[in-house]
Structure 1
Amino acid sequence: MDWDAFFAVHKDLPREGPGSDRDVAWALALAELPEGASICDAGSGPGGDVAALLRAPDARVLAVDKFESFVAQAAARYRDTPRVQAVVGDMGALEQLNSAPFDLIWCAGALYFYGIEEGLQRFSKALKPKGVVAFSEPCFFVDAPSERAVAFWDGYEAGSVDAVLSRVAAQGFEVLGHRAVSDAGWEAYFQPMEARIAGLRDVADARLREMLDICAEEAMHWREVRKETGYVLVVARKCEATS
């Protein structure tokens, strides 16, 4: 990965993955968090979901990302919001953070870096008893996805929605609900990125042009296969026996 070129494209984008405020509101309604809940936005990027998470009554939100530039953007974005803290950290070791354990771990489009099994095992360590995790996971919406749809995930073995839910339950979580991330949520990610790409085309060197092409292709690829594949957003509660 050419990280300099990557951040030239992604710097100051409003979000770093598909999603919407409606997704967050739906998840919060299912989670039924206590007043003053402790929420972790794991793999937060620049904090695109933080404002929606703050709609939980008196909640405190810790935004965690491994990239300093994203954390700096989130910190600047919410500098005047005492209920928000942004830190550089490993979302696979959230239990080591001072704010842990959490009532809710929100993870938009990032849990799959670990896979459902390892990711939920790691998150479980940072959740309170009966805490809730909400995450979006690659999946197929059709029984026989095309080669093009399979290729969208670049080697990640996405499964059906039912398979995702079964894997979550096998890790000791009660599934409270699930739904597909909407097309609008995907466009909320891709459209600002495409505007950035258009603005950089005339000034890009060869390295940056290659990254612009990669990012532009991702958006076009998704639009081609969006009826076959995407993210399923899962909300699940940790069972008491889960550790």
Structure 2
Amino acid sequence: MTEQSEPPLEMVFSFYESIQRKGPGSEASTLKAFSLLNDLPATPRIVEFGCGAGVATLPLARSSRGHLTAVDIHQPFLDELQATAAHEGLADRITTVQADMGNPPFPNNTFDLIWSESAIYNLGFEQGLRLWKPLLKPGGHIAVSEVVWLTSEPPRKAKEFWDADYPSMTTVNENQNRMKAAGFDLLGHFVIPTEDWQNYYGPLQDHVTAFRTKHSANATAQAFADSLQQEIDLWKEYGDSYGYCFFIGKAV
């Protein structure tokens, strides 16, 4: 969405409360990224920024045997995560914290692993890496997914959309360079598969349609739905030119 069409945050949060996955991804991709971290402590301390309702938090808790601090700015997302964690017997392994990822309320040298899926763009890729790196213990790890160009010559419509929405978006290679500049050795990376986008856009499309009907007389709501529909349609037409890439690194 461009700045001119930004809806109220209350509307955005309310819209996404009933959608389990807040961005492209899958449990399979989460676990694939986690598998590239081969020298974590036996019970790592993990912080996840932009956790939403926990679609990555929960599989990480099951797989890591560590303790997760799940951070999001919207308390209802965290309430849902807490309820699910309790139901799965993971409540003692997950602590939720309502906070801005751009102002994390943690001491330096606290965590063995920083995790963030489809959320670091809120800060900017390199800015987020530099901000979060001091939170890691020496030799700590980071795993983040970030939207990237998959071609050196993106289609005009796709370029115009992303230039307006996220002008610092760049290529996989350039983000690897940014990761090194921020003080990380790159351990691995991979582009998430098409199914991970379908996991997000399928339910999103259904919700956009229902949202339009429910708020038919609300011009702001209709503009918000228009912006989401534009994003979905753009991906259907030009999704082979961009994608989300997982970047896994180790602090040096």
What residue is the counterpart of 2:9 in the other structure? Answer: 3
Secondary structure in 2 matching 1:220: helix
The separation in 2 between residues aligned to 1:197 and 1:107, in whole angstroms, is 25
* Aligned residue pairs, count: 238
Distance of 1:140 and 1:127 partners within structure 2: 28
Partner amino acid for 2:66? A
The reply on whether 1:144 has 2:157 as its aligned counterpart is no
Counterpart code for 1:16: K
Higher helix share: 2
111-120 vs 176-185, greater mean Cα deviation:
111-120
Alignment of 1:138-217 (within 5 A): 138-153=147-162, 154-204=165-215, 205-206=217-218, 207-217=220-230
CA distance change for structure 1 residues 194 and 99 in 2, over 3 Å: closer, same or farther? Answer: farther
SS state at 1:15 partner: coil
Query: Alignment partner for residue 113 of structure 2, among 81, 104, 108?
Result: 104
Matched residue SS, 1:158: coil
> Where does structure 2 lack aligned partners over 5 or more consecutive residues?
1-6
Residue 201 of structure 1 and its aligned partner are, at CA, apart by: 3.2
Matched, 1:221 2:234: yes
Consecutive unaligned residues of structure 1, counting only runs of 5 or more, are none
Distance 1:86 1:181 in 2: 27
Using the TM superposition, give the Cα deviation of residue 56 of structure 1 relative to its aligned residue in structure 2, in angstroms: 2.8
DSSP 3-state at the match of 2:240: coil
1:128 aligned residue: 137
What amino acid is the match of 1:172? G
- Say which of 19, 22, 31 aligns to 1:13: 19
Identity of counterpart residues, as a percentage? 28
Tell whether the 8 Å contact from 2:108 to 2:136 is kept in structure 1 after alignment: no
Q: Say if 1:98 and 1:166 are closer, same or farther in 2 by CA, change over 3 A.
A: closer
Cα distance in 2, alignment partners of residues 155 and 34 from structure 1: 35
Question: How far has the Cα of 1:89 moved from its partner?
Answer: 1.1
1-structure distance, mates of 2:14, 2:103 = 28
Matched, 1:238 2:245: no
1:168 and 1:58 mapped to 2: Cα distance?
27
CA RMSD of aligned residues (A): 1.9
- Aligned partner of 1:87: which letter? V
Q: TM-score, normalised by structure 1?
A: 0.90
**Equivalent in the alignment of 2:94:** 84
Aligned residue in 2 for 1:57: 64
1:63: Cα distance to partner? 0.8
Q: 1:9: Cα distance to partner?
A: 2.3
Q: Does structure 1 conserve the Cα–Cα contact (< 8 Å) formed by 2:108 and 2:135?
A: no
Structure 1 residue 74, shift from structure 2 partner: 1.9
Inter-partner Cα distance in structure 2 for 1:37 and 1:155? 33
Q: Is 2:78 the counterpart of 1:71?
A: yes
Deviations 1:19-58 (A, max 9, x none): 1111111111111222211111111112111122113331
Q: Which amino acid aligns with 2:135?
A: A
**Letter in structure 2 aligned against 1:228:** S
**Aligned partners of 1:197 and 1:216 also within 8 Å:** yes
Give the Cα–Cα distance (whole angstroms) in 1 for the partners of residues 13 and 125 of structure 2: 27
Report the alpha carbon displacement of residue 98 of structure 1 after superposing the two structures with TM. 7.0
**Could you state the TM-score of these two structures normalised by the residue count of structure 2?**
0.87
Q: Does 1:42 align with 2:55?
A: no
